[in-house]
Amino acid sequence: MTNPQSTPEAVVWVAIDVAKDRHEALIEAPGWKSRKKFQVQNTAEEFRALAGFLHRLGWPVRIGFEPTGNYHRALAYFLHSEGFHLELISSLALARTREAMHNSWEKNDPKDAQVILHLLKAGLTQHYHDPLVHNLNDLQELSKSHHHVSLEKTRTQHRLLTHYLPLYFPEIARYHSSSRSQWLWNLLIEFPTPQSMTRLSKAEFVRRAWPLVGRKVAKERILSDVYLTAQASVGLPVEQSSETVVMLRFVLHQLVTLCQLRDTIENRADALLHDEMWCPPIRRASWEEQGDRWVACHLSWWFRNSQILSWASGSRHPLPAVLLDVHSRDCWLHRRHHLPIDERPSICGKVPYDLKS
């Protein structure tokens, strides 16, 4: 027997087009002949006025908005604290629906609010999980800071490898083998040019450079090879007191500082996520740099497999559902929990050559 269709619940629909200084709100409530438009300034007073108006309507309220940079975070947190139900509108869905509805690429805030309201009422929305409410804000800030520091570190490193070293010490670049190795930069801070090395005797250079390169196998042989390389260098001769050397040292100090900041962020992330099963999202950079291609290539498989997800979120290692929902692409399983080699799946149905070795 067919189930009778129930009468839809009366709901107040609120569409908000978020901007930096003011937000466009479009409200549709039961019994209204037309929708009402509001402009909400990005101030606490305006936020309280909007929340008070919605509370006075006396109906359940559903609010939809498009995430716009970070400008939506303050308003969304306030509305969530007032007990309103919030939903996200996909930016891609909004753009495509706006073009289909208006047959034009033209956009403005009032038009976007109308499209957001249409998608909200049609149920084409996404769940909104506030990072601060769900205790993910610290993890998010650590991840973003690590990204920006790593990006700036890579730019500075490329500046050295493509500008300074080819000009003043091109042969030294062959000793750069890993972005995680800092001994070369520490050595170049003290001896930035071949002339700064060759003006000393070989024994004196080895003695002074010995504490700069850290713990290494055959350290004396490496330093001796660096000294011989400096003697045969074709780099441009510059004075040690020149502004060129001062700028070179400035960039080297900047690179070392960025490496130290990156390591500090990673250590704080390790302390924050102390559960042995889950590694911090920012550890993916170090894993990739260490050649762990299996983790990078098969990440998507891990989070498509329902059995692993159910096991990971079980009683042994509880994991918040919101973390699996929002940050699944940023969660990395620890190496010790990998499947055996013969059970490791591949994305394309074939086992990569490096998994058989």
Spatial CA neighbour of 180 closest among 218, 147, 150: 150
Q: Give the residue extent of every domain in the chain.
A: 12-128, 139-268, 276-356
The whole-number pLDDT of residue 275 equals 53
Coil, helix or strand for 25?
A: strand
The pLDDT value given to residue 289: 46
Residue 101 confidence (pLDDT): 86
The residues that bridge with 113 in the sheet, in sequence order, are none
- Of 23, 29, 55, which is closest to residue 42 (Cα–Cα)? 23
- Which tens digits make up the pLDDT trace of 170-192? 999 999 988 888 899 999 999 99
**Which phi and psi (to 5°) does residue 185 adopt?**
-70, -40
pLDDT at 102: 81
Look up residue 195 and give its two tokens. Answer: 């002339």
User: Which CATH code, of 1.20.1300, 2.20.28, 1.10.287, 1.10.3470, is assigned to 139-268?
Assistant: 1.10.287
Q: State which residues of the chain have pLDDT below 50.
A: 276-282, 284-357
Task: Give the model's pLDDT for residue 7.
Answer: 58
CATH architecture of 12-128: 2-Layer Sandwich (3.30)
Neighbours of 332 (CB within 10 A): 19
